[in-house]
Amino acid sequence: MRKIFSLALLIVLFFACFSPGVSAQYADESKVDETGSLVVAKRRFQLGGYGEAVFQRMFYSDNIERYKYPERHTDGNHGRFDLPHVVLYMSYDFGKGWKMSTEIEFEHGGTGTTYEIENSETGEYETEIEKGGEVALEQFWIEKRFANTAHLRVGHVIVPVGLTNMYHMPTEFFSVLRPEEEAMILPCTWHETGLSFWGQIPHWRYEAMFIAGLDAERFNNANWINGGSVTPYEFKIANRYAGAFRIDNYSVKGLRLGLSGYYGYSAGNSLKQDRYKDVDGAVSIGAFDAVYDDHHVLARANVVYGHLDDSYKISMINKKMPNASPSPGTDVGSGALAWYVEAGYDILSFFPDRKNKGDKFYVYGHYGFYDSMYETSTKITPKSWTEKRIISGGINYFPMKGLVVKAEYAMRKFKTPYNGEPTISLGVGYSGLFGY
């Protein structure tokens, strides 16, 4: 199995290096022009993907108790090299409006285990974990296209709530890693099994979804509902259901405005559903985002607010879970808030006579806020370290469409007495369709 995954990864990297890239939202079968109109793809088989390599140095302590005893951990530094996401995308158009699409994602380089014989233990077989990471099926769906205005998609699909979930390619955000504000409180990339109905008309795109609800057993104080979409089992528990929607408008040249939302029950979506008797755990999320790309300026803004009913009851139930439970066993906020703004300018626009007119070099700034315990039950004491502000800036160099080189300095700031957390990051990434 490891050889198969390695071969697939090599295929992605080969096409990434030697094939022309095509921008981002390939998973919708076709692209959207600047008016929001559908441009139907002509190829029957398509291969593509995206990936990123990241190099970081953090100038703060990584001690697990740095928020519990900040005065003891004022110094320290550590580094990380990582492959956060490498994704292989494939689709096939059967004709007559029917299409299949799938994405296989290797997070943090994938995962690995081996068998070995332990000589010191009388020759017994042992299973050793070689490396961390994850191999996941991020998308798999069958779609029927009735018209440009109506498509029905069934299978494992992206939940397009918020800016990052809808636009999560490394060429679609400035930061080296996905924007922290949204990714730390919502599942990212958020994918669920269910039904999606979407379509496009001039200047508009819409999508409505029916999916399984989140699992309240996996909510926590640091990441709110982030872990609720991941199942530790061989199947997705669907005792409770949810709905999601997204609407995008392209009326103004270079500007896209997006509104998205989610509502669903989370309590009881675990194997221990009897523990959540008489608890609904309704999750409500509303998000607004905007992207402006014109006149050599690329700017983004995003606001996400979410509310969790029965947060105190869920917190008490989760804290009483057995140690072997997948639950983090912490308090959970009743409300979470995240927002950020960022803007960059292509300084190569000052040199219109340069040889390679297709490249871009953005210098950008970013400011954001998030708090996974922005609101809490009166019976829960909030954690002040969950409130964070992100100040960052850097460069994005696009030598060609679909390929980016990034450098970033970021500071994560807290309220007193917690210490700031500065980081320098470098990264490379790609995204696109590579042929048929």
- Structural contact between residues 253 and 311, judged by C-beta atoms closer than 8 angstroms: no
Return the domain boundaries, the chain: 2-435
Per-residue pLDDT, 10 = 40
pTM: 0.86
pLDDT grade for 4, boundaries at 50, 70 and 90: very low
- Structural contact between residues 296 and 274, judged by C-beta atoms closer than 8 angstroms: no
Q: What is the pLDDT of residues 147-191, one digit of tens each?
A: 989 999 999 999 999 999 999 999 999 999 999 999 999 999 899
- Structural contact between residues 161 and 188, judged by C-beta atoms closer than 8 angstroms: no
Q: What is the pLDDT of residues 238-259, one digit of tens each?
A: 999 999 999 999 999 999 999 9
Q: Which residues contact 352 (CB under 8 A, 6 or more apart)?
A: none
Per-residue pLDDT, 142 = 97
Question: Is the previous residue joined to 189 through a cis bond, with omega within 30 degrees of 0?
Answer: yes
- Strand-pairing partners, residue 139, are 103
> 374 burial class (0-12, 13-18, 19+ CB within 10 angstroms)?
buried
* Mean pLDDT to the nearest integer, 325-337: 92
**Token digits for 222?**
């640091």
The string of DSSP codes covering 360-394 is EEEEEEEEEEEEEEEE--TTSPPPGGGEEEEEEEE
- Strand-pairing partners, residue 100, are 92, 142
> 25 burial class (0-12, 13-18, 19+ CB within 10 angstroms)?
middle
* Mean pLDDT to the nearest integer, 306-312: 97
Per-residue pLDDT, 232 = 78
**CATH 2.40.160.10 matches 2-435:** yes
Of 374 and 24, more confident: 374
CA distance 419 to 422: 10
Per-residue pLDDT, 30 = 52
